[in-house]
Amino acid sequence: KKSVRASVKGMMLPRRLCGVAGHRLSSSMLQLRERGGSHIDLEQLEVNMFRAPKESFWVPLGGRGVFGGQILGQALHAATRTVEGAIQRTWKAHSLHAHFLQKGDPSMDVIYLVRTTSERRSFVTRTVEGVQKGETIFTCQASFAKAPQNSTRQQLDHQRDMPEGLPEPEDCVDAKDVVDDLCRSGSPLPESVKDRLRDVKALPVDVRMIDHVPDILNPNPPKVPPRRKMWIRVEKIQKNSGLDECCAAYFSDHFLLVTALLPHGVVFPSPRLGVVASLDHGMWFHDDFNADEWILYDVYSPRLAYGRGLSIGHMYAKDSKRLCVTTVQEGLLRLARPSPARLGVQLLLQANKLYHDLMKKKRFSFFSSSS
């Protein structure tokens, strides 16, 4: 196999910046969008067996396997399809507990096997396994509750309040505009990295960053508290599809785990990182919401130690201000071992950052003669 490391003036970029060997996603992802496909679409093979086509898979820049949120959303979709009445919303997913056992290979389909774990009057549970090459790469349990009926019985209700004083989504930084800036003509990034960044524009998710906009050109980002807020939504979902929770599972993995890196002055992706991988992921669905309407995603990390980081996220429906979803994730966050190649990339990023900042401010040009 050919090396996936991209060369910049004779320097080799680590896989952490280039992605997965031999896998280019831009064309397949754009074709998926053109034919109206979804990143959580499944083909039903048997009553409790589903297939996710490899053509839909996305590997994030800096990632080594299929995006964890995509596996999570597809698994919940598979479970939902086996609960009678879930699509019609007479049953609703209320919790999900998942473990990532191996990285997903983007060159192979994933088979999801669903098992009925329990059937009770008010709750039903499904166990889902994601399989590649005969091995389980992912497992989860999803629980569904019978939708509440109109009742005069008094119910207890409280929530963690939605943060106030936030800018409107239209006034925040569009993540895809950041990609455009990085991929513009004259950008110092190599074309291999730009190709991977362009995949982000094909994603069916709209993200508006309220704070801590990631800057992958900055080798030494500031150390800030481990909290990040953003507006997020899927761009389009069929009404009454019963898949809002599946979509939330999909985009819950955006910026969740890596929020734990903020107080350490490390951005993702970075040559300073050796391992970034999800271990387990839990979700609780508290209230109804529409995944294609703006949702505030408020994420913070209470702990990072021994290479394992924990992040917690709260999703609020913008219009109702109701806390709709809580998500918790633990994952591996390990620094890379020092090496001459990584030191070289660090110096290259510093030079690129300086160039980027200077050109953005239009103060100097490296192509003009100095006086």
Query: Read out DSSP for 121-133?
Result: SSEEEEEEEEEET
In the residue annotation, 329 being an active-site residue is answered as yes
Catalytic residue from among 253, 298, 301, 311? 253
Residue of 96, 97, 105, 115 lying closest to 137 (CA atoms) = 105
pLDDT confidence of residue 237: 76
In the residue annotation, 88 being an active-site residue is answered as no
Per-residue model confidence as pLDDT tens for the chain (371 residues): 333 333 333 323 333 333 333 344 444 444 444 444 578 999 999 999 999 999 989 988 777 899 999 999 999 999 999 999 898 889 999 999 999 999 999 999 999 999 999 999 999 999 999 999 999 999 999 999 998 877 667 789 999 999 999 999 999 999 989 888 888 766 667 777 787 778 777 788 999 999 998 887 777 889 999 999 999 999 877 766 789 999 999 999 999 999 999 999 998 888 888 899 999 999 999 999 999 999 999 999 999 999 999 999 999 999 999 999 999 999 999 998 876 655 555 555 656 666 666 666 654 443 344 43
> Left (φ > 0), alpha (ψ -120 to 50) or beta: where does 165 sit?
left
Report in angstroms the alpha-carbon separations of 368 from 117, 184, 259, 352, 371. 69, 20, 40, 17, 9
In the residue annotation, 253 being an active-site residue is answered as yes
pLDDT confidence of residue 10: 32
pLDDT confidence of residue 215: 81
* Global confidence as pTM: 0.83
Residue of 92, 39, 41 lying closest to 69 (CA atoms) = 39
Residues constituting the chain: 371
* Rounded distance between C-alpha atoms, residue 124 and residue 94, angstroms: 10
Catalytic residue from among 38, 278, 301, 311? 278
pLDDT confidence of residue 278: 94
